[in-house]
Amino acid sequence: MPWNKQQKKEILDSYWASSVAYCPDDNARLDIQKDKALGHKTDLFFIRCPRCQQTFNSDEIEPEPQEIDEFTNQEKKEIVDTYFATKTGICPRDGVTLKIEHDEHTGGWFIHVRCPRCGRVFQWTNKDDEKSGKKH
């Protein structure tokens, strides 16, 4: 049976949650390759079952959003708080592990956060910490 839209969505949900996904028809572990397309806000994947040989591209199911509302300041602050406490972060919108880059330089630091699924990005520095500290 060709995979339907719901099955494809479940494959992507499984992959985002645990980095593995299985064929709904024959239970084979799917081959999932990151598409090297440049300039996309979200990560794209090519999914293939080595057993029944069905394939699809993730953007069939999750097209790249044209406009993305930003994380709220509260969300950003919580992501940064969590990052400093645990060295990891979860997107509050879709539960996916965030890609976080952290740089330190003389007199400060800089964090770049990107969600590979919804494409939201932001940057946060020690200056933002000072700003948000003043509000409280």
Q: In the complex, what is the shortest distance from the CB of residue 116 to Zn ion, in angstroms, rounded to a whole number? A: 8
CA distance 43 to 16: 11
* Comparison of 51 and 131: residue with beta carbon closer to Zn ion: 51
Residues in touch with Zn ion (CB under 5 A)? 23, 25-26, 28, 49, 51-52, 91, 93-94, 115, 117-118
Measured from the CB atom, the residue of 18 and 106 that comes closer to Zn ion is 18
Task: For the CB of residue 118, give the shortest distance to Zn ion in the complex, in Å.
Answer: 3
H/E/C letters for each residue in 94-129?
Answer: CCCECEEEEEEECCEEEEEEECCCCCCEEEEEHHHH
Q: What is d(CA 91, CA 101) in angstroms, rounded to the nearest whole number?
A: 15
Nearer to Zn ion, 77 or 126 (CB): 77
Of 48 and 125, the one with the shorter C-beta distance to Zn ion is 48
Tell me how far, at minimum, the Cβ of 32 lies from Zn ion, in Å. Answer: 13
* 25 to 17, 52, 57, 64, 115: CA distances (angstroms): 20, 8, 18, 27, 30
Minimal distance, residue 132 CB to Zn ion, in Å? 21
Q: In the structure encoding, which two tokens stand for residue 114, read together? A: 């990107």
Query: 2 is written with which tokens?
Result: 């060709």
